[in-house]
Structure 1
């Protein structure tokens, strides 16, 4: 469930709690109208959860003044033209606790270097360490709304640092790079949650920042996310074009590991395009060849740390499944799960669901249920991401069609229904 991470990020950056923002909005309304406003923390909570998508005009003006941003930049959505009000809120709601939405900036975001009006590499280094922490958290537990919010807050800080004081061209380029990196992480979190509208906004912003940084490497990362986003929307020609753009990035000519990842992503898209089976297999073969050529001891950006032999085998499994070669997909998945680093819990769950689907496609009902059943979250466990949850629903539907009366299928149905009730 999701709300308004753009507003939450601004609040987090400013260190504002819900009640504090309400008070500030009321003061600004009072300055404008001569009468103190009546905004409460409940109004702010409704803005954060998405329950209120377009605040009243006095509140909007106060918010725009508070954050020096337009209402749309704060994540609000104006009503459709000639429509009084939408009958259904398309933004799915999330209950935001004060603790989650009002984390102080000092706890998460480094302050600029004190005692000087010059912004230097030491400021960028602090941000880079925070970016590395976010990447590690994503690899271990997966992205969520809180990570999306934190990433956006850091991206904003990277841009605000350039207004603090003087900075060399080299420092400015690095700050733009970091802003693109953080926005790319927010993009990934939205893609994982299958929140396509927000993901598109993050993609456009991140691409602009990566271009300003002049970073082929960051653009290659973003093209990969763009391909997955279009694939989720079933826009296969656009997904293919994005994956091909990533493969053409200059960094892929310079570094075989980047080339391997880009080729594997392209193979994944091509395997879903009619008439491109041979092209998909060729791209996948190129991915494995490039991986063998890569010097794995070289230092590379933190965001690429997830891409190892386990991930390549996992991506290969997805290609084989889309080509209908489920036995080969299962073999790749067993390799991936054996090689996967223990701390990569998110990917372990994701590829385990794919393993269950590959086993089910081969009619191995008991094995598939044994693989899938432990993946259903129990009480107190965090919910699965949008992508992984969708795969489990696909497994549930496929099992019901294939073996509705099978004892293992009945056992699965009970466990799955129990897990759904607990979420």
Structure 2
């Protein structure tokens, strides 16, 4: 575990460094429940690029949660300073390793506070790339690292429900990937752009996924093709095109059945049978088929993926929403009630927003049942607490 010398930090360290092999519930609870309002007191710092604040008293716990610290030679988490005169492979390699740390922490607990850390690291590394000297090889590696970090930062802003910030990072990633002729990085960026735009710009989303399919022809793995066909399927659903949705889902399923590959890119770890069911459920909601959506989401809750806790909770909330739309108010209320003990274990703006919508739906007078009233009361009490 790397460590940040205390003289470089803009927050106070406790008596000793915290080493965290993986996120745990106790650390997450220190960050705070996902559906509570963000902290707003005088002891916050705005991120250097973009919105959001990070409470200084929480930052050390958050960095440990992500498994992030730094060596004395790589001050990516310290307060902004002048760029070093030169950087080498050691610094670039460490910066690159942060992406995997962000990815693993995000899968477990969500993106809300991790997002600000990623934005800060990206801003610092971008400044170094613009001002520091380096060899040609280091320069290419730095461009790749910045593209990788920009894509991960974009995803974190999406999960933190700060979607408006994501596009700039994805556009940057595409540009940097082209600088160094890296088709894999460009395909990743287009896959995330398809996700970002699937609801409000489904046409652009489909074009982005199809561009990624064309670019990956000849080297793409079945898991990558699965993801891209899932992205396309969801855009057809948003456009209320059932036949297009069915075709794309069938292609995704066929690719998935070809199995994993040693050449799969690390970010594809979430492309599982559960994810296929999740996209199927989201698509059926878009097609106004809540009963089919609920069936898909139940499959996930009955066969959860332990490594993807945030995704499991997200799709469980989607089950409550689908059941509510279906008119099965007691199932919706019971599902939501069972999630209350877990919801503060993730810090995801997407999950928070959807959970609040479920509470709002179940709180309508015309939908009042004993179960819905019990959930609404418990939810409101948890928010106040």
Q: In the alignment, which residue of structure 1 is the partner of 2:252?
A: 287
Q: In the alignment, which residue of structure 2 is the partner of 1:59?
A: none
Q: In the alignment, which residue of structure 2 is the partner of 1:329?
A: 293
SS state of the match for residue 111, structure 2? coil
Aligned length: 338
Q: In the alignment, which residue of structure 2 is the partner of 1:363?
A: 327
- Counterparts of 2:120 and 2:177, CA distance in 1: 15
Report whether the alignment pairs 1:129 with 2:97: yes
1:71-114 deviation digits (Å, cap 9, x = unpaired)? xxx437xxxxxxxxxxxxxx6x646225628979x96245669x
Aligned-pair CA distance for 1:406:
1.1
Aligned-pair CA distance for 1:189:
1.2
Q: In the alignment, which residue of structure 2 is the partner of 1:209?
A: 176
Pairing partner for 2:49 from 55, 69, 75: 75
- Counterparts of 1:207 and 1:112, CA distance in 2: 29
8 Å CA contact 1:252, 1:258 repeated in 2: no
Report whether the alignment pairs 1:222 with 2:222: no
SS state of the match for residue 48, structure 1? strand
- Counterparts of 2:347 and 2:44, CA distance in 1: 25
1:249-273 deviation digits (Å, cap 9, x = unpaired)? 3258632211110110111122011
User: Please, which runs of 5 or more residues in structure 2 have no aligned partner?
Assistant: 13-41, 75-85
1:272-319 deviation digits (Å, cap 9, x = unpaired)? 114x221122111111111112x4141422222121222122112212
**Deviation beyond 4 Å, 4+ runs, structure 1:** 101-104, 110-113, 122-125
8 Å CA contact 1:251, 1:258 repeated in 2: no
Residues 1:256 and 1:378: Cα distance change in structure 2 (over 3 Å): closer
- Counterparts of 2:158 and 2:115, CA distance in 1: 12
- CA RMSD in angstroms comes to 3.6
- Counterparts of 2:234 and 2:160, CA distance in 1: 20
Q: In the alignment, which residue of structure 1 is the partner of 2:272?
A: 308
Q: In the alignment, which residue of structure 2 is the partner of 1:278?
A: 243
Report whether the alignment pairs 1:376 with 2:340: yes
Q: TM-score, normalising length from structure 1? A: 0.69
Residues 1:224 and 1:419: Cα distance change in structure 2 (over 3 Å): farther
8 Å CA contact 2:108, 2:309 repeated in 1: yes
Q: In the alignment, which residue of structure 2 is the partner of 1:48?
A: 45
Aligned-pair CA distance for 1:240:
3.3
8 Å CA contact 2:110, 2:160 repeated in 1: no
1:314-340 deviation digits (Å, cap 9, x = unpaired)? 112212222233333233223333443
Aligned-pair CA distance for 1:368:
1.6
User: Which structure is richer in relative contact order (CA contacts within 8 A, separation 6 or more)?
Assistant: 2
Q: In the alignment, which residue of structure 2 is the partner of 1:100?
A: 59
Q: In the alignment, which residue of structure 1 is the partner of 2:378?
A: 415
Aligned-pair CA distance for 1:393:
2.4
8 Å CA contact 2:224, 2:264 repeated in 1: no
Q: TM-score, normalising length from structure 2? A: 0.75
Report whether the alignment pairs 1:244 with 2:210: yes
Aligned-pair CA distance for 1:215:
2.5
